[in-house]
A and B are shown apart, each in its own frame.
Chain A
Amino acid sequence: MTALRPAGDFDRTYEQDMSVIRRPWQWVALAVVLLLALTAPRWGSAYLVSTANHIFYTIIAVQGLNVLVGYTGQISLGQAAFMLVGGYTSALVTTHLGLPFPLAVLVAGLSTGLVGLLFGLPSLRVKGFYLAMATLAAQFIIPWVSRHLYPDLLGGTSGRITAPVPVIFGISFGEVNNYFYLSLITLILTTILMLNISRSRLGRAFVSLRDNDLAAELLGVNLFGYKLRAFFIASFLAGVAGALKAHSQRGVGTEFGYGLEESIIMLGMLVIGGLGTNLGPFLGVTAVILLEDLAGVTGQRMAQLFPSQAARFLTSFRPIFFGLILMLFLIFEPRGLAHRWQTIKSAWRLRPFSR
């Protein structure tokens, strides 16, 4: 990540060596970005704010997936189902127990983490493709539970319950202009969490068991323990993201988009952004969500051009665009946008001697 640093950029103290933000101008850049983000509801259009909100909570879920898939190298096809668990938990504890919203999000994360542990158990015996199948089972079993068991709590066959508007210190977060801040603050917290996981003992253990599990075991990494930790963190973040999504959409249920397709799209976002990088989820989620909006616009244009065939155009461009871009990235840039960004950065530093 920080492989290429300009000449003369030394660390003189351990604090400098450990710092995430190194240079004064990076502090300025961070401040500007945060200021822009915090004031976005003031100057941005409704589309911008609601898309940003969508992007923020999706990034949190993809960050979780990144721990499991990017760092630890275990394939998961069930992230969307874990989001569903988080959404249901948060909606239930705020409605029935009256927990305040921040606490509800935390409870949602923890309970989803436990469910994730349950489906991570097969990782004791199987790996790779077989483990992907276990998470695929989660992707089908969890939504089934929400539709068939405890119908008065979970909404029964229609598969939906309402999630109340979060109120913190008397401020209502019903409008997306307000809700935006909840997603943003949570995203900042999870990003700090991710930055620290990835460069501490935990993250290094994850990477070691991704790169060579035999060698990792030899070095004293408890494989099963760390795999379960990866599953817990991934599901925890999925649960937090699911809670944010549920309260943002004012409802939770299988019809709000928690299917296999969403899980696949999140995997795609991760690959397009860059597996195993902290920048990857940001770039990938933004790129794919904007691409989906573009696909929606394309579909509408085509539907206007050929009104008699409108139905087939309205929804079909989304999977086509996504599938195509995912395949192109896998062939031409398997390390994702984050790697492309690194190349651009180092080319800029080496100028005029870059290729």
Chain B
Amino acid sequence: MNWQLVPQQFATGLLNGGIIAIIALGIVLIYRSSEVFNFSHGQLVMLGAFVTWWFAGGEETGNELFNLPLWGAIPLAVLAMAGLGLLIERLALRPMTGQPLLAIVLMTLGLAQFLEGSAAIVFGIQPKNNFPAPFSPSDVITIPFPGAFNDAIIIKQALLATAIVAVVAAVIFMLFFQYTRIGLAMRATSEDHELARGVGINVPRVFGLSWAIAGIIATIGGVLLATVTGVNLSLATVALVAFPAILLGGLESFSGAIVGGLLVGLAQALVQASSVQVVRGTSEIAPYILLLIVLIIRPEGLFGEKRIERV
């Protein structure tokens, strides 16, 4: 280990984990209300970033339909993505209600491919560098930290904002699912569709609503990601790292999604502080190694519900 680098990598890892966490949050949300594991969430995140960029007049052709400042573009993008979420639920997932897991997984995988191709056609394949980010990459906070490299930790403001938004969003969702009628309805629906209908919950509406919320949270994640990395098609692949985070935290748990995201971010960053080159290279697969370990030792994750099933 190169101990000088550890404090900096620790901070960067935690903050990168914030982004992973907010993506994981959207997937857990869908899973909790409809037991659909959404492999297309990454594509929704990517689309959220692109739509925001489009509303903010990103094309820069001079005659674009919208040319709003960021604070105006985000609400419109959120609305559009909530609509897209409703549409996806109605057209793609509702016919799959009650189908086996494999069919539902494949449905979201097919949806992911479809959304990815459509985004490429609608927005083009070139990365966009003119996202009106509230922070520039050079906006950093320097915290003195004796013993670290250069005796300081450097934190990007954009990353810090992301982490804060992720934690705030998680808290809001936890409260939402604990205390509001509709949140409780969503939990009841995920537990048992028929029982939920029996107590008067409109199950299709709950599904639609949860996809709309997922669209909203994907947009938030997309905007935050875009401030860090810019807008491009490969934003969708970031979501792949969210899957290990979710399993690590436990499938049903919002706080688990946050903790899992942070741990995955930490794992990715901390291996880079190693002095062995091969270990530094494991940064991209560290989440998956973590995933395999979790699957073998504690399959239900840190905060998940343990389903006892003896076969």
In angstroms, Cα B125 to Cα A213, docked, is 46
B135 interface residue per 8 A CB criterion: no
Residue of A134, A320, A324 touching B295 (CB-CB under 8 A): A134
Question: At the interface, yes or no: A133 with Cβ under 8 Å from chain B?
Answer: yes
Q: Within residues 258 to 278 of chain A, which ones have a CB less than 8 A from any CB in chain B?
A: 260-261, 264, 267-268, 271, 275
Task: Say yes or no: is B284 at the interface (Cβ < 8 Å to chain A).
Answer: yes
Which one of A109-117, A136-144, A246-254 contacts B? A136-144
Assess whether B103 is in contact with A334, with CB atoms less than 8 Å apart: yes
- The answer to whether A134 touches B117, judged by C-beta atoms less than 8 angstroms apart, is no
> A129 an interface residue at 8 Å Cβ cutoff?
yes
Closest partner residue, chain A, to B35 (CB atom):
A129
User: Do B107 and A327 touch across chains, with their CB atoms under 8 A apart?
Assistant: yes
Contact B289–A311 (Cβ < 8 Å): no
Output the nearest chain A residue to B295 by Cβ-Cβ distance: A122
Q: How far is the CA of A165 from the CA of B243 in the complex (A)?
A: 40
B105 at the interface (CB under 8 A from A): yes
What CA separation (Å) do A213 and B311 show in the bound complex? 7
In angstroms, Cα B306 to Cα A125, docked, is: 13
Q: Provide the main secondary structure of the chain B interface.
A: helix
Instruction: Tell whether, in the assembled complex, residue B110 and residue A132 are in contact, meaning their CB atoms are under 8 Å apart.
Output: no
Does B37 reach chain A (CB closer than 8 Å)? yes
B295 pairs with A315, CB closer than 8 A: no
CA distance A149 to B278 in the complex (A): 8
The count of chain A contact residues (Cβ–Cβ below 8 Å) is 50
Interface of A is mostly: helix
For the complex, is A338 an interface residue (Cβ under 8 Å from B)?
A: no
B58 contacts the other chain (CB 8 A): no
Kindly identify which residue among B120, B284, B291, B311 contacts A316, using a CB–CB cutoff of 8 Å.
B120
A223 is an interface residue with CB less than 8 A from chain B: yes
- Number of contacting residues on B, CB 8 A? 44
A residues less than 8 Å from B112 (CB atoms): 323
In the complex the two chains form, what is the Cα distance from A130 to B126 in whole Å?
35
Which residues of A lie under 8 Å from residue B99 when comparing CB positions? 330, 334
Decide if A318 is an interface residue (CB 8 Å cutoff): yes
Q: Is A309 part of the binding interface, using a Cβ–Cβ cutoff of 8 Å?
A: yes
Q: Is B92 in contact with chain A by the CB < 8 A criterion?
A: yes
Kindly state whether residue A128 has any CB partner on chain B within 8 Å. yes
Q: Is A217 in contact with chain B by the CB < 8 A criterion?
A: yes
A34 CB → nearest B CB, Å? 33
Are B299 and A130 in touch, CB under 8 angstroms? yes
A327 to B111, CA, bound (A): 7
A322-B110 CB under 8 A given contacts A137-B292, A141-B289: yes
Does residue B114 face the partner (Cβ distance < 8 Å to A)?
yes
Q: Is A73 an interface residue (CB 8 A)?
A: yes
Is A44 in the interface zone, CB < 8 Å from B?
no
Contact B117 A130 (CB under 8 A): no
- Bound Cα distance from A136 to B295, whole angstroms: 12
Which residues from 133 to 168 on chain A have a C-beta closer than 8 Å to any C-beta of chain B? 133-134, 136-137, 140-141, 144, 148-149
- Decide if A312 is an interface residue (CB 8 Å cutoff): yes
Cα distance A317–B122 in the bound complex, in angstroms: 12
Give Cα A251–Cα B117 distance, bound, in whole angstroms: 28
Q: Given contacts A128-B101, A129-B105, A271-B106, is CB(A319)–CB(B114) below 8 Å?
A: yes
B296/A320 in contact, CB under 8 A: no
Interface code B112-147, partner A: CB below 8 Å = 1, 0 otherwise? 111111101101111000000000000000000000
B247 at the interface (CB under 8 A from A): yes
Are the CB atoms of A330 and B106 closer together than 8 Å?
A: yes
Residue of A at shortest CB range from B37? Answer: A129
Report the nearest B residue to A123, measured CB to CB: B295
Q: Are B106 and A267 in contact (CB under 8 A)?
A: yes
Instruction: Please name all residues of chain A whose beta carbon is closer than 8 Å to the beta carbon of B107 when the two chains form the complex.
Output: 326-327, 330
Q: Which residues of B contact A324 (CB under 8 A)?
A: 110, 114
Contacting pair B102 A69 (CB below 8 A): yes
Set of chain B residues within 8 Å of A275, measured between Cβ atoms: 102
A148 adjacent to B296 (CB under 8 Å): no
Q: In this complex, what residue of A is CB-closest to B120?
A: A316
Look across to chain B and name the residue whose beta carbon is closest to the beta carbon of A265.
Answer: B113
Q: Is A126 an interface residue (CB 8 A)?
A: yes
Residue in chain A with minimal CB distance to B278:
A148
Tell me if B244 is interfacial: C-beta within 8 Å of chain A.
yes
Q: Which residue in chain A gives the minimum CB-CB distance to B107?
A: A330
Contact A136 B311 (CB under 8 A): no
Instruction: Tell me which of B110, B118, B281, B288 contacts A136 (CB under 8 A).
Output: B288
- In whole angstroms, what is the CA distance A260 to B237 when docked? 11
- Contact: B113 with A319, CB < 8 Å? yes
List 8 A-B pairs, Cβ < 8 Å. Answer: A69-B102, A126-B295, A129-B101, A141-B285, A261-B113, A311-B124, A319-B117, A326-B110
Chain A residues within CB distance 8 Å of chain B? 69, 73, 75, 121-122, 125-126, 128-130, 132-134, 136-137, 140-141, 144, 148-149, 213-214, 217, 223, 260-261, 264, 267-268, 271, 275, 309, 311-313, 315-324, 326-327, 330-331, 334
Known: A137-B289, A327-B110. 8 other contacts (CB 8 A): A130-B299, A133-B244, A133-B295, A141-B288, A264-B109, A320-B117, A323-B115, A331-B96
